[in-house]
Structure 1
Amino acid sequence: MYHIVEKRKIWFLISLVSILPAFVFMLWSTATRGQPLPLSIDFTGGTVWEVQFSQPVQPAAVRQVFVDAGYGDTTVFTVNNDFTAQIKFKPVDAEEKDRLRQALEAQFGPFEELTYRSLGPAVGREVSQAAIVALAAASILILLYIAWAFRSVPHPFRYGVAAVAALIHDVLVTLSFLSIMNLVAGWELDALTLTAILTVIGYSVNDTVVIFDRLRENFHRYRNESFAVVANRSIIETATRSIATQITVLLILVAILVLGGVTLQQFVATMLVGFVSGMYSSIFNATQILVAWDERSLFHRDGKKSVGQGAAATA
Structure 2
Amino acid sequence: MINFMKYKYWYFIFSLLFILPGIYFLFRYGFNLSIDFTGGSLVEFYAPASIDSLRNDLASNIKIGSLQQTGPNQFILRTESLDQASHDQLFNQLKLKYSEIESQRLETVGPILGRELIKKTLIGILFSTGFILVYVAYRFRDKKYGICAVLAMLHDSLIMLGVFSFLGFYFNVEIDALFVTALLTILSFSVHDTIVVYDRIRESQRLFPKLTYTQLVNKAVTETLTRSINNSLTIIFMLLALYLLGGITTKWFVFALLIGTISGTYSSTFTAAPLLVLWEDLKSDKNKKLLISSEANN
User: Is 2:127 the partner of 1:162?
Assistant: no
Measure the CA separation in 2 of the matches of 1:75 and 1:237: 48
**Could you tell me how far 1:149 is from its partner in structure 2?**
1.1
Q: Alignment partner for residue 132 of structure 1, among 122, 129, 151?
A: 122
Q: Which has the higher helix share?
A: 2
- With normalisation by structure 2, the TM-score equals 0.79
Partner amino acid, structure 2, of 1:192 = L
The answer on 1:42 being equivalent to 2:32 is no
* Residue 89 of structure 2 is aligned to residue 89 of structure 1: no
Residue 253 (structure 2) aligned to one of 258, 267, 291? 267
Q: Given the superposition, is the C-alpha separation of residues 100 and 201 from structure 1 closer, same or farther in structure 2, using an over 3 Å criterion?
A: farther
**Structure 2 stretches lacking a partner, 5+ long:** 56-63, 71-75, 292-298
How far apart, in 2, do the equivalents of 1:73 and 1:195 lie?
A: 25
The DSSP-based 3-state class of the residue aligned with 2:3 is coil
Give the residue type in structure 2 aligned to 1:17: L
Residues 247-288 of structure 1, C-alpha deviations (whole Å, 9 max, x = no match):
000000001111113222111111100000000000100011
Contact 2:35 2:42 in 1 (8 A): no
Partner SS for 1:225: coil
The worse-fitting range, judged by mean Cα deviation, of 260-269 and 230-239 is 260-269
Coordinate RMSD, CA, aligned: 3.3
Q: What 5-or-longer segments of structure 1 have no aligned partner? A: 30-35, 50-58, 77-86, 298-302
Q: Which amino acid aligns with 1:254?
A: L
Q: Radius of gyration: which is bigger?
A: 2
Shift of 1:60: 8.3
> Which of 173, 178, 183 is the equivalent residue of 2:164?
178
Contact kept? 1:170, 1:277, Cα under 8 Å: yes
Tell me, in whole angstroms, the C-alpha distance in 2 between the residues paired with 1:7 and 1:225. Answer: 19
Offset at residue 65 of structure 1 (A):
9.2
Q: Within 1, Cα distance between the matches of 2:109 and 2:121?
A: 17
* Residues 170 and 201 in structure 1, CA contact (< 8 A), matched pair in contact too: yes
Fraction of identical pairs, as percent: 32
For residues 223 and 199 of structure 1, what CA distance do their matches in structure 2 show? 36
Match of 1:28 in 2: 28
CA contact (8 A) 1:45 1:90 kept: no
Structure-2 change in CA distance of 1:28 and 1:227 (3 Å):
same
TM-score, normalised to structure 1, is 0.75
Matched, 1:226 2:220: no
Match of 1:246 in 2: 232
CA distance in 2, matches of 1:284, 1:37: 28
Moved over 2 A (4+): 59-62, 64-76, 87-90, 92-111, 116-123
Q: How far, CA to CA, are the matches of 1:175 and 1:214 in structure 2? A: 30
